[in-house]
Amino acid sequence: MTSERRSIYLTTPIYYVNDKPHIGHAYTSLAADVLARWHRLSGHDVHFLTGTDEHGQKVEKAAEAKGMDPQAFTDTVSEAFRELALRMNYSNDDFIRTTEERHKLACAALWKRLEERGEIYLGHYEGWYAVRDEAFYGPDEITERDGQKFAPTGAPVEWVREPSYFFRLSQWQEKLLAFYDANPDFIAPQTRRNEVISFVKGGLTDLSISRTSFKWGVKVPGDEAHVMYVWLDALTNYITALGYPSEYEALWRFWPADVHFVGKDILRFHAIYWPAFLMAAGLPTPRRVFAHGWWTNEGQKISKSVGNVIDPLALIDEFGLDPVRFFLLREVPFGQDGDFQRKALVGRLNGELADALGNLANRTLSLIQRNCEGVLPAPAAVAAEADIAFLAATGHADAPGSPAWLAAKVGALLNEQKFDAALTLVFASIREANGYITREQPWALKKTDLARMRDVLRHLHDALRVFATLLQPFMPQTMEKLLDQLAVPAGARQLAALATPLPEGAALPPPSPLFQKIQDVAA
């Protein structure tokens, strides 16, 4: 079931602490969490990182608006992101803050390395800067509306002139294009890759990487009048967490990252600046940057001014954690924009979770309780003709000890970040199982063929074990409950364990509902 054990490194962006978490933050981290959990089930060594980006002019201004010291402000808001990670049941191995001393040391080390290699020089910056984006924009990217100039993101820009250190980004244009060509899977999905390549082909200019007009940031080594550009600071977090600048730390084995999960609005920084910084420093580049889309709310763009920001913690309170986790990755292909609709969440919860999976589990386990004395029947000696198609559709091994195809297919889809397709596949098998129990009617077989009844119930139990095992990364709490009800030992919940049938005779606890249906479907 598993390939050779290997190290897997997955990251979320480190979230900017100028406001409280919203559904976009929850969505990005959820994708990373599901993939991390899947790799652990596969027997891999996983390091999963998330955290907060706490420097820059935008944070300084937000703290000032609150009448707070920037450090006290970031301490408060960072805790909200820690709380989100706990409430969403993320399995992150580390939570990094850019105000930590380990991070300041890593930033200084990377700066010195770039400086020693001739990649940084001192000059003056003059151009358009968006405080909201913490980004500089070229004249050709600026639009004007009602006398105000704006970046392509819609953020207002201001003309800035100040001393600045520069990174020789222009010298990396052709090298980046060659890198993209040699690594076609580095940027995903394909539409985002095309956008990045088009941007780079349009020409790169040297990048201003320090500021003197504010103080809240990592000091430039040897010139403390300057603080580092927030994106050089922020991106460095991915190697800080692995022990950089010591490339001999135990965690350094995880570099390069397998996937950086980001929103599409910050793809440029991760797919252009970050590999250029790393190549210039002589460090390995990440294997993939995946940029997902944005959510709207009932067809409307999400906006604080409109008042339609979606609070993930409120969703959990109303619908339960695992239904929310399931819905966010089931509803929309990862990488595309999606529209959050309450009725769609209710429909998924009631239809797929409660009716399809929950009802199947409750019917099967209740029948085993009543008709098999609550004890797991023996595996069928020979599959009946009526069982063959069902066994194939529900991911059973083709031969003793062979990997279940369903697990292999789900893994392949998750490795391409096709979360919705993986769930679609599993729930197609769940529908097959519901069709099977309806056709075979094990409740009626008790009167006519006890041996056949036991075989049918054992096949259904085996199928539920497969479903519960594969769905653990998406709904860990609920699938733990289901695996408990199936009497699957804690040591037999990895993917590799699916190749070994459970022994007969295990006592199954009385079943209890996995999901609560929602009756009120008001928008």
The CATH topology of domain 342-499 is Isoleucyl-tRNA Synthetase; Domain 1 (1.10.730)
Q: Does residue 399 register a pLDDT over 50? A: no
Q: Does residue 400 register a pLDDT over 50? A: no
| Inter-helix orientation angle 450-470/476-485, to 10° | 160
C-alpha 488/C-alpha 458 separation (Å) is: 13
pLDDT tens for 430-450 read: 999 999 999 999 999 999 999
Residue 523: HSE in the Cβ half-sphere, 13 Å Cα cutoff:
7
pLDDT of residue 4: 63
Who's near 163: CB < 8 A, 6+ residues apart? 122, 123, 124, 125, 212, 225, 226
Q: Does residue 425 register a pLDDT over 70? A: yes
Mean pLDDT of 271-281: 98
Q: How far is CA 523 from the centre of its chain?
A: 28
Alpha carbon separation from 300 to 155, 297, 310, 341, 347 (Å, rounded): 19, 5, 12, 10, 20
pLDDT of residue 394: 81
Range 303-311 contact pairs with CB under 8 angstroms and sequence separation of 24 or more? 304/19, 309/22, 309/23, 310/22, 310/23, 310/340, 311/22, 311/23
pLDDT of residue 453: 96
Strand partners, 50: 95
At 448, list the tokens.
Answer: 């006519």
Q: How does 29-51 read in b/e, with b if 16+ C-beta sit within 10 Å?
A: bbbbbbbbbbbbbbebebbbbbb
pLDDT of residue 427: 97
C-alpha 421/C-alpha 297 separation (Å) is: 23
DSSP-assigned letter for residue 499: G
CB 295 within 8 A of CB 340: yes
pLDDT tens for 476-518 read: 999 999 999 999 999 999 999 998 999 999 999 999 999 999 9
Number of other residues whose CB lies within 10 A of the CB of residue 453: 22
C-alpha 109/C-alpha 441 separation (Å) is: 68
Q: Does residue 97 register a pLDDT over 70? A: yes
Residue spans of alpha helices (H) in 415-449? 419-440, 442-448
SS3 of 269, please? Answer: helix
Strand partners, 148: 145
C-alpha 276/C-alpha 168 separation (Å) is: 9
Residue 67 has φ and ψ, to the nearest 5°, of: 70, 35
For strands 207-208 and 158-167, give the pairing.
antiparallel
Q: Whats the size of the chain, residue-wise?
A: 523
Query: Could you tell me which residue, 125 or 15, shows the higher pLDDT?
Result: 15
Mean pLDDT of 195-217: 95
pLDDT of residue 2: 42
Position 402 confidence tier, pLDDT thresholds 50, 70, 90 = very low
Q: Does residue 304 register a pLDDT over 50? A: yes
SS3 of 234, please? Answer: helix
Q: Does residue 398 register a pLDDT over 60? A: no
Mean pLDDT for the chain overall: 93
Q: Does residue 135 register a pLDDT over 60? A: yes
pLDDT of residue 126: 84
Q: Sort 300 into a burial class: Cβ within 10 Å, 0-12 / 13-18 / 19+.
A: exposed
pLDDT of residue 493: 97
C-alpha 446/C-alpha 430 separation (Å) is: 24
- The domains of the chain are located at 342-499
Who's near 370: CB < 8 A, 6+ residues apart? none
Q: Does residue 392 register a pLDDT over 90? A: no
C-alpha 314/C-alpha 229 separation (Å) is: 35
Q: Does residue 521 register a pLDDT over 70? A: no
Tokens 């980046």 found at:
176
Q: Does residue 122 register a pLDDT over 60? A: yes
Rg of the chain on CA atoms, in Å: 26
CB 465 within 8 A of CB 492: no
For the four alpha carbons of 281, 283, 288 and 291, in that order, the dihedral sign comes to negative
C-alpha 521/C-alpha 351 separation (Å) is: 13
Mean pLDDT of 303-325: 90
